[in-house]
Structure 1
Amino acid sequence: LAFPRVRRSCLYTVPAAIAILAKPTAAIFAVLFAIHRLLFPAETITGRTIGRRALVYFAGIGPSFLICGAMLLLVQHMTPHTWVAGAANARNYLITQPYVIFQYFTTFFWPTGLSADYDLNPFATTDDPRFWAGFVFVILFAVCAVVAAVFKKTHVIGFGLIWFLIALLPTSLLPLAEVMNDHRIFLPYVGLVIAVAGAVSLLINRRVAYSLPAKIAALCALALFLCANGYATFQRNKVWKSEETLWHDVVLKSPRNGRGLMNYGNTLMVKGDFAGALDYYHRAQQLTPQYSFLLINLAIAEDATKQSATAEEHFKEALRLAPASPDSYTYYARYLLSHSRAEEARLFLRSALELSSTDLTARELMAQTDAQAPAYSTGETPESYLALSLQYYREARYAESIAACRAALALRSNYPEAWNNIGAAYNKLGRYEEAAAACEEALRLKPDFELARNNLQYAREMAKTSGK
């Protein structure tokens, strides 16, 4: 605003570009900027023809879309291919979002029951009355936002309301593990603040003579409002004082949140309270029995309390549930290494590094493994790992079979037989998309590989019938 000529350098996009590196949802800046330019056009373009104004408009917003798009592509390139958004059912996530938006809106004006991790479960059907309540609210809110944006007097209010809706789009349309989360509303709430400020400004600038008592009452109400918010902020800061206080608050307010229970258990385990940690892990397990990270933490606590056999079973279960997650291999390898099973640990560490070559924990553990049991090239060949994967496959140890194949691929990346075995093991685990991708890679390397073609056909057929 102070230096209009500097805008041509697009320096205003730098904060957004940096923010995208931390949180890709910041790319929504380009859309917000476009709406701002549409509602508040520069004075220099007024009076021109419609075509000329449109040309200037798109030339003005184009750089922000290009820069934000480029940063998104960079982040996507840097993100490991093993990352998944986490939602179990995209449809259920999406039909829950109108109600979630309604909850976010009401929380802005009445912030009670705040939780860093809510225990709201996705709706299974649109018959849920909460879906219709949220749906009607979003429609009415959107209509009010557009109407307010049309009239010049309420431009600011309309812009703020539109900001709120637009800023929520990334987390509302991309199915994530949690349907609702506190930190997602920080940017959208800026829009509501703009809308409220616009409404207050409109009220103050009305040509109405207010009496002295009315002015005093308004000032007292404002002071009371600010004091209440200051006190609430002070109380909320106590919750965010440490990991332990934060997750303890989540456990109290969202007692059916498996991740919250697990994370509070983690804080207890860090303090050495393994009995307390196990209690929360078991409570979380009742709510989220197929949460691989929970099983890993449960296994770590069990191993620390001399329940090694049970711990190993849970490590293997985590591998079965998340064979594409590096952590499933890394922490099982750490367990094996602590029990002087270095050769087995090396196998899983190779798989972890195959999935995520920058995994520092896996690299450090591999160095410890090599120091404990130096690897000899004569005993480690792609063929030996392939044979081991077949052995694991026959024993129905499918996650270990995949790990052996990845160890073979670490030594020979263009090994079609290893890719085919991965596909066959994924088929057994019911992970048909990963199975199809592995078999396609095997066929790319060896187009006449009949076994891989059969496994690929099976994976595609099962994916259609099961919806996976």
Structure 2
Amino acid sequence: MSKSDKNITVLAVALLLVLVGVYANHFNNGFHFDDTHTVVDNVHIRSLKNIPQFFTDPRMFSADPAHWSIRPLVTTSLAIDCWFAGGLYPSYFQTSTFIEFVLMGAMLFFMFRNLLKNAFKAQWSSYVALGATAWYMLNTANAETINYIISRSDVLSTFFIVASFLIYIAYPRKRNTFLYLIPAAIGAFAKETVLVLVILVFFYTLIFEDELSLADLFKPTSLHKIGRAIVKILPLLIVVGAIQYYIISKVSSSSLFITHSFSDYVITQSWIWVHYFITFFLPLNLSADTDWTIIPNVFDERIIIGILFIIALIVTIFKTSAKKETKPIAFGLIWFAAALLPTTLMPLAEVTNDHRMFFPFIGLALSATTYIALLIKKSETKIASSPVLRNLVLIAIILVLGLNAYGITKRNQVWRNEETLWLDVTQKSPLNGRGLMNYGLTQMTKGNYDVADRYFESAVPLLPTYHLLYINIGILKGAMGNHQEAETNFQRAISLSPNTYEEYAFYGRYLQQIKNNTKAITMAQKALQINPYATVALYTLMDAYNDLGMTDKLHEAARQTLAIIPDDATALSFLNAKPQSATAIPTNQHTRELEIHQYLDQSVSYYNGHYYNQCIAACLEILKLDPQNADAYSNMSAAYNQMKQWQLGANAAQKALKINPHHKFALGNLNWAKSNLK
């Protein structure tokens, strides 16, 4: 091993140790945001037996039908982490993502070195490649992806893009074995961005192997080389394209989150590109959920700056692709632009997201480091002879990497838990209603109801039609004892989004908590019709049937729960529990009117479930509170009639009619009883 190789090895080990050190405070960070429905509430990742279905069933990706999709590589990795950890322990998931990140960094070094071999002599290319790798791996912005567990889709897809591209450029003589297609095919099951690899291979072939500049591509003499490059990418295009077509065919269009005008969204992306570019060099004001919105005015100064930036980017690519030593700069900028195309051309709900920079920043790391290295190379003799200049260069490198490393540790602290994360969002993105709502949720969880209420109310003007906000307000108002306001907000959520399951599930849970079990059952069943994996609704059903003493229905709900969550402790406890009679409602919990209403609901549920004795028992409880309740006597009459105790049925109906002569159900029950008595 040469001295240079030894130095590179030592520096690489040092980089690894620094990387582990700066991310040391992130391994216990919790689940956040979309982790809730893709990991925490996703019952499918709790069994490795589901892995084959991850590749065919979009419902396996998320507990929320609005996010049903197919990213089987991601879901499989989550299931393996869950199995290995023996449960939902975030540290195992964080460690898994970090290992993937480190391995990708190792491949990046060899990929960069290969791309730089014609621009620098061997010794230089290794150092520049390691510098580019270090800048990328320690870039503060990447902490947004590494801390966000479900964003391992970015890590995995980028990992396999790099692996495939590295095999392609490092082993040109083995391309006829199509070995490079294997990582690409695997990565396509992680995220749609793998299709960008086709663009990268195409331009690599022309710029590096055919030694063309971008200007040369417009010359007639280059047509045969362009054609040859197209032929080279065809196997990759066919394999990755076929997988993407298969995935899209399995996913409902409602899961694509296309929420903006295409033209407005694409125009806005010009400014977003500027933002991403600047963030690579100055990763400041990072936010897990920004309050940036569409810029519809094409004459807005931000759009003008964005368009000028893209023009400058294209001009720079053309110029730098003309010389051998600057081709890595051109290719890095092509990588940056190509990697941004998927999120630029697909009008997503959020116009920007910090984890979208993870893949494009590989290109910027290559371009920026190459440019700086060429500047240093030009002054190599002067720098070598001046200790001051050498020290300044060293200090600059340490400063850039050191500040980024410090930034990572600070972002890790922000991602510690839901409260720290969403507090940061409210501070960085004060016009983000979702951020205000989610921070309010953290306060509601802690019992700080007044604080939660303030944040929810602040979110309402920003999200006037967001059904999840009204669900959370309903939950809060219920916890505060404001049952009328709770009811109003749950109903508002249902009116805004009648075809999603959350409002029915959480409204049902609330109703069950106030012992309105009949209506709770109805809401839970509606939720399960939309999403059969809604665990909140399943638990509500079990609690409601248990309260009502409806043992058969309780066992049915418990078995339904166990079918999707094997060994669920709650379901098993209900399945093995002894039957119980109607649940008494403590008189000190609710008003007299509410108690009567609850017992009436119980009596109807018992009647519908063919539990006629329990129905009568519930009616007797009503009569203790209100001896003149005609509905109670009428329900008793119906129950007696069902048991063919016609005289008791007639007596109960007559008592109901004595209280309310116009009670049509009591009159019907009386006629029913009399016809059988004759």
TM-score in terms of structure 1 length: 0.70
1: CA distance between counterparts of 2:190 and 2:418?
20
Shift of 1:50: 7.0
Letter in 1 for 2:490: F
2: CA distance between counterparts of 1:193 and 1:124?
32
Shift of 1:306: 1.5
Shift of 1:157: 0.4
Deviations 1:270-299 (A, max 9, x none): 333333222211111122111122222222
Shift of 1:338: 3.2
2: CA distance between counterparts of 1:244 and 1:311?
24
Describe the shift of the 1:110–1:342 C-alpha distance in structure 2 as closer, same or farther (beyond 3 A).
same
2: CA distance between counterparts of 1:13 and 1:301?
52
- Which residue in the other structure is 1:252 paired with? 427
Equivalent residue of 1:120, what SS? coil
- Which residue in the other structure is 1:37 paired with? 205
Describe the shift of the 1:50–1:91 C-alpha distance in structure 2 as closer, same or farther (beyond 3 A).
closer
Alignment of 1:181-192 (within 5 A): 181-192=353-364
Shift of 1:94: 2.8
Are 1:320 and 2:495 an aligned pair? yes
Q: Is the 8 A contact 1:82 1:324 kept in 2?
A: no
Shift of 1:193: 0.4
| Structure 2 segments unaligned to the other structure (5+ residues) | 1-166, 212-220, 554-678
2: CA distance between counterparts of 1:327 and 1:73?
30
Equivalent residue of 1:121, what SS? coil
2: CA distance between counterparts of 1:231 and 1:256?
28
- Which residue in the other structure is 1:436 paired with? none
Describe the shift of the 1:38–1:322 C-alpha distance in structure 2 as closer, same or farther (beyond 3 A).
farther
Are 1:180 and 2:355 an aligned pair? no
- Which residue in the other structure is 1:161 paired with? 333
2: CA distance between counterparts of 1:180 and 1:8?
40
Task: After superposing the two structures, state which structure 1 stretch, 90-99 or 356-365, moved more.
Answer: 356-365
Describe the shift of the 1:343–1:92 C-alpha distance in structure 2 as closer, same or farther (beyond 3 A).
farther
Are 1:261 and 2:436 an aligned pair? yes
Equivalent residue of 1:175, what SS? coil
Deviations 1:77-114 (A, max 9, x none): 45455425163544433332111111111121122222
Task: After superposing the two structures, state which structure 1 stretch, 337-346 or 196-205, moved more.
Answer: 337-346
Q: Is the 8 A contact 1:82 1:325 kept in 2?
A: no
Equivalent residue of 1:286, what SS? coil
Are 1:202 and 2:374 an aligned pair? yes
2: CA distance between counterparts of 1:353 and 1:10?
46
- Which residue in the other structure is 1:138 paired with? 310
Describe the shift of the 1:137–1:52 C-alpha distance in structure 2 as closer, same or farther (beyond 3 A).
closer
Q: Is the 8 A contact 2:291 2:431 kept in 1?
A: yes
2: CA distance between counterparts of 1:72 and 1:363?
34
- Which residue in the other structure is 1:111 paired with? 283
Q: Is the 8 A contact 2:288 2:425 kept in 1?
A: yes
- Which residue in the other structure is 2:236 paired with? 64
Q: Give the aligned length.
A: 371
Shift of 1:233: 2.1
Shift of 1:329: 3.0
- Which residue in the other structure is 1:408 paired with? none
2: CA distance between counterparts of 1:220 and 1:177?
42
- Which residue in the other structure is 1:304 paired with? 479
2: CA distance between counterparts of 1:279 and 1:252?
15
Describe the shift of the 1:185–1:343 C-alpha distance in structure 2 as closer, same or farther (beyond 3 A).
same
Letter in 2 for 1:101: W
Describe the shift of the 1:59–1:310 C-alpha distance in structure 2 as closer, same or farther (beyond 3 A).
same
Task: After superposing the two structures, state which structure 1 stretch, 209-218 or 345-354, moved more.
Answer: 345-354
Q: Is the 8 A contact 2:210 2:225 kept in 1?
A: no
2: CA distance between counterparts of 1:89 and 1:207?
50
Q: Is the 8 A contact 1:87 1:93 kept in 2?
A: no
Deviations 1:160-195 (A, max 9, x none): 111111111111221222212211111111110011
- Which residue in the other structure is 2:406 paired with? 231
- Which residue in the other structure is 1:413 paired with? none
Q: Is the 8 A contact 2:291 2:430 kept in 1?
A: yes
- Which residue in the other structure is 2:447 paired with? 272
Describe the shift of the 1:241–1:15 C-alpha distance in structure 2 as closer, same or farther (beyond 3 A).
farther
Describe the shift of the 1:274–1:201 C-alpha distance in structure 2 as closer, same or farther (beyond 3 A).
same
Describe the shift of the 1:26–1:50 C-alpha distance in structure 2 as closer, same or farther (beyond 3 A).
closer
- Which residue in the other structure is 2:466 paired with? 291
Shift of 1:37: 3.0
Shift of 1:261: 1.0
| Structure 1 segments unaligned to the other structure (5+ residues) | 44-48, 376-468
Larger radius of gyration, structure 1 or 2?
2
Equivalent residue of 2:505, what SS? helix
Q: Is the 8 A contact 2:258 2:346 kept in 1?
A: no
Structure of greater relative contact order (alpha carbons < 8 Å, 6+ residues apart): 2
Describe the shift of the 1:291–1:363 C-alpha distance in structure 2 as closer, same or farther (beyond 3 A).
same
1: CA distance between counterparts of 2:413 and 2:463?
29
Letter in 1 for 2:191: K
- Which residue in the other structure is 1:334 paired with? 509
- Which residue in the other structure is 2:26 paired with? none
2: CA distance between counterparts of 1:360 and 1:26?
34
2: CA distance between counterparts of 1:126 and 1:266?
38
Describe the shift of the 1:78–1:247 C-alpha distance in structure 2 as closer, same or farther (beyond 3 A).
farther
Shift of 1:350: 4.5
Equivalent residue of 2:238, what SS? helix
1: CA distance between counterparts of 2:308 and 2:447?
50
Describe the shift of the 1:188–1:336 C-alpha distance in structure 2 as closer, same or farther (beyond 3 A).
same
Q: Is the 8 A contact 1:324 1:355 kept in 2?
A: yes
1: CA distance between counterparts of 2:521 and 2:253?
22
Deviations 1:338-397 (A, max 9, x none): 34444544544444444444444445545555665667xxxxxxxxxxxxxxxxxxxxxx
Describe the shift of the 1:86–1:317 C-alpha distance in structure 2 as closer, same or farther (beyond 3 A).
farther
Letter in 1 for 2:285: G
Describe the shift of the 1:50–1:334 C-alpha distance in structure 2 as closer, same or farther (beyond 3 A).
same
Deviations 1:299-337 (A, max 9, x none): 222222112221222222222222332323332333333
Describe the shift of the 1:146–1:126 C-alpha distance in structure 2 as closer, same or farther (beyond 3 A).
same
Equivalent residue of 1:152, what SS? coil
Shift of 1:235: 2.0
1: CA distance between counterparts of 2:241 and 2:314?
26
Q: Is the 8 A contact 2:336 2:360 kept in 1?
A: yes
CA RMSD in angstroms comes to 3.1
- Which residue in the other structure is 1:94 paired with? 266
Alignment of 1:207-218 (within 5 A): 209-210=381-382, 211-212=385-386, 213-218=388-393
Q: Is the 8 A contact 2:509 2:536 kept in 1?
A: no
Q: Is the 8 A contact 2:470 2:493 kept in 1?
A: yes
Shift of 1:128: 1.9
- Which residue in the other structure is 1:170 paired with? 342
Shift of 1:207: 7.7
Question: Identity of aligned pairs, percent?
Answer: 36
Task: After superposing the two structures, state which structure 1 stretch, 237-246 or 97-106, moved more.
Answer: 237-246
Describe the shift of the 1:142–1:269 C-alpha distance in structure 2 as closer, same or farther (beyond 3 A).
farther
2: CA distance between counterparts of 1:117 and 1:189?
19
Task: After superposing the two structures, state which structure 1 stretch, 341-350 or 166-175, moved more.
Answer: 341-350
Letter in 2 for 1:254: S
